[in-house]
Amino acid sequence: MSNIENFKSQMAPVDALVPRVVNKKHVAQPFYTRRVVTIAGVKTAKTRFLPVSHEGQGIETYVDKLELLGKTRAEFISRKLKGIERRAHMSLFRELVEQNEESHTWQEFFKANFGKECTVPDGLCIACWNCSLFGGLEAGIGATFSRIRYFDSYSVEDAEDCIAMEGSEEGMGIGNQVYEDVNKARGSETYHLYEYVKAGTRFPFITIIESPTLLDVASYLSTVHRADEHGYGKYSANHGKFDTDFLVVATGYPRFSVLDMLKWGDAGTLDSQFDENTMKFDDLNGSVALFGEDIDKIADQLKSAFDDYYNALTTV
């Protein structure tokens, strides 16, 4: 059996994603297979990036930073990753639905199969595949737990080298205030100053999917690339674009952390660490690790995996 077929054999059946009906309400199934998939890689900024989780001072905005492993590093918090990627996943979900539905919109499909349209973040249905993977809450009805786990990430590079700030060669970025009155002459009070992470900065990451289906894994790989082009962080319409290199997709829990990946990045050995002979994962069933082209082949399973999910939904 090939590595890819062995990997697929450890995934949960797609039927687990079909919602059950409780008190005439569609709700995602609670299922736990004791299996996990770990996806690790590196995101490299290809535009200015503003990871900001707090208000700035006056007209200035500052990049999140943290002292870690002997460096001041830019911080990319996990909830920012999850929020953008959840929206990208929902966009992909709707597109796949409309490819399969010849005479219905995604809204009609969602109402028929999940009881309502699902809108991120304030109108979740807690029944669809997106809610099964990312979790959700519907007040007075119930909740689904997230099966996808994110971890905070940090820049490999030191803040002095990777953040444009006051005193750096580039200086702070300059933008317009949102509330600027266009009927008045422009002056210094209409400008907004902001720090930003420079293009080329690397952020290693780890994501874990619990009780994974093949559809979960293949869609995540596609979702990340969509999110990369949409943009992360503040001012994402023009900033926060990334290239993502997936280094490994494996069954089991990782025997390394983002901190280990930072140490490898500091030493210049990050890519070389991800070798099938050295990379280890905890899996009582025997871990199956995929690298390089095999990861692309799993991503290519998206359409067929979604067709299986669609057929399971519509033949219930």
Q: What is the pLDDT of residues 228-276, one digit of tens each?
A: 999 998 777 788 999 999 999 999 999 999 999 999 999 999 999 998 7
Task: Return the bridge partners of 55, or none.
Answer: none
Secondary structure, 3-state, the chain: CCHHHHHHHCCECHHHHCCEEECCEEECCCCCCCCEEEEEEEEEECCCECCCCCCCECCEECCCEEEECCEEEEEECHHHHHHHHHHHHHHHHHHHHHHHCCCCCHHHHHHHHHCCCCECCCECCCCCHHHHHHCEEECCCEEECCCEEECCEECCCCHHHHEECCCCCCCCEEEECCCCCCCCCCCHHHEEEECEECCCCEEEEEEEEECCEHHHHHHHHHHHHHHHHHCCCCCCCCCCCEEEEEEEEEECEECCCHHHHHHHHHHCCHHHHCCCCCCCEECCCCCCEECCHHHHHHHCCHHHHHHHHHHHHHCC
Q: Could you tell me the pLDDT band of residue 178, with boundaries at 50, 70 and 90? A: low
- Whether pLDDT at 184 is above 70: no
Q: What is the pLDDT of residues 187-230, one digit of tens each?
A: 555 577 888 899 999 999 999 999 999 999 999 999 999 999 99
What mean pLDDT is reported for the chain? 89
Tell me the average pLDDT across 120-130.
91
Q: What is the pLDDT of residues 27-60, one digit of tens each?
A: 888 888 889 999 999 999 999 999 887 665 666 7
Sketch the domain layout of the chain as residue ranges.
Answer: 3-314
How would you classify the pairing of strands 253-254 and 281-282?
antiparallel
